[in-house]
Structure 1
Amino acid sequence: MENIKFKALEVNEIDGEFKREIIEKEINDLPEGDLIINVKYSSLNYKDALSAAGNKGVTREYPHTPGIDAAGIVVEDKSGTYKKGDKVIVTGYDFGMNTDGGFEEYIRIPAGWAVKLPQNLSLRQSMIYGTAGFTAALSVYKLLEADVDKNNILVTGASGGVGSFACAILAKIGYKVTAATGKSGARYYFNNLGVENVIDRKEVDDDSGRMLLKEKWDGVIDTVGGNILTTAIKATKYDGAVTCCGNVASAKLDLNVYPFILRGISLFGIDSVQCKRELREEAWKKIASDWKVDQLDEFSTEVLLEDLNDQIENMLAGNSKGRVIVKL
């Protein structure tokens, strides 16, 4: 195809410091791959903010264009999987980590990294969900598989992207949700999502050292890890289930075996990166139909590529709420 010029956010390492700027790229600059997509929307995730700040645990080599989410229109597919004009979503795999990501107007990737946009979902809506909504959907899917009672489900880190969507999806399908958050003044936000109970995260951060805590939760979707996850597991009811998808609080899990051998608790790890294609497609179909959130605009702030720098700094400072979507 024609060697089109386009805009991209590039992060460069100069003398050990990392600089972000909008540059002009060409199609020929893109990495190898079968599928070329004209990106219409992307979204900002915590992993993107880390990559944009030079975190070598996320991105090893610079210059680099972050963005682990993208939604757009197929321009060319040498694999024959998609037709020109098909609308697709890209999340997971190495996209935006060590392969240039969605903060640019064109991307080139392996065709297997994309899924077709489901009916009843726009490109913009798909990026309001993005990896965060997709991860939340996988977490809900595990609770459904575990067949936990719906009476009292805890969601930790509830004001973040994954937590917000987990709250909204659970409430929509009939679960009674308790949202744990460190954000003050968030009650209206959660009530608007259908959440019945909002508590301070300190209430689920036990430091007593006890082996087990009083049974409280039928199930838990944890997004933060660390001692909050430990506390949640210890307080989960007999035969309950806990999902784990994040480590922003800590990657350490200081735990004993008693919740598992005395209460039969199940702990499920949630991985949205290498998730099998069949489950990936099923989750997106659920997001576009039975689990589609009515209050999508409540989750999102829309910005342009030129506005991303401030949003990245805001997220790194812990001041982000909901989703930031990027219109390209």
Structure 2
Amino acid sequence: MAFFHRKKPWAVAGLPTDEAVYRSRREIVKALLAAGLLPSAVLSSACRASRKAPAKAGPPWPKVVLERHPKRFPAPRAPKYADAGRPMTPERLATSYNNFYEFSTDKERVRDRVGAFRPYPWTVEVTGLVERPLKLDLDDLYTKFEQEERVYRFRCVEAWSMTVPWTGFPLRRLLERARPLAKARFVRFISAADEETMPGVRTQRWYPWPYFEGLRLDEAMHDLTLCVTGLYGKPLPKQNGAPVRIVVPWKYGYKSPKSVVRIELVETQPKTFWETLQPSEYPFESNVDPRVPHPRWSQATERLLDTGERIPTQPYNGYTEVASLYRKG
């Protein structure tokens, strides 16, 4: 099949294009599958996702949330995170240019393919090495955890960036409620993978669905790491990871999993989705670092999503308060 894409006016020679990134990832994954080089556990997870039963029709999103929790949106903006040092990205751009392969590999088509997806009702489980396993629905997340708005910079590994106001609460509060055991050292996240409502899961069977990511426990417990329920003063749009996602602003965007259904505390470093497929390109840590290029493009600069301007990339995406997490010795 041939692919035809118009050249974006901001495209710069030598930097990645959406199609180049997608085609490279797809071909590498298909080659690994053909050679039998993907771990059996990864393949079995994909099979489980493909057998998921059809979902029942849910109430309209986000209307159901606004009706049940009318005082939750917009949430008060946290003074400490009221200004990210850059102009806010227009909402229409941040909600129409989305990396969400479960729906489409074309960022500009994701929002048109999320209609069947049902973010309500929804359950998030916290399991593994915890004293108190949790099973929370969305109403629990809205009522048991005080919501606030934070303006964060967001840096994609593909060298583009945006600045947006997320609504949510520190992930630390959720983990503390589950009471991690002393031997818990890492946190693993599992996203939804419903082939009935997520067309990318159904058609791209070479990917090891469901999406899975991970953090060190100290990273997950840092105040900057946010459990997100909203964007631009509204419940989180489907195309941005509804109904709940994680945002880690000092790491590349793929470290911020969307539509999370399970959080597991574990003792050993877990494999992650892109690390499993392309470990030389998407390592576990994946902090934003302009000095370390991606194997196929530079990370020294980034393109602002709204203006197309290229600006220097900052270490840790400018969130240098996390640097102490990575000091050795």
- TM-score normalised to structure 2 length: 0.25
Between structures 1 and 2, the one with greater strand share: 1
Q: TM-score with structure 1 length normalisation?
A: 0.25
Structure scoring higher RCO (CA < 8 A, sep ≥ 6) equals: 2
Larger Rg: 1
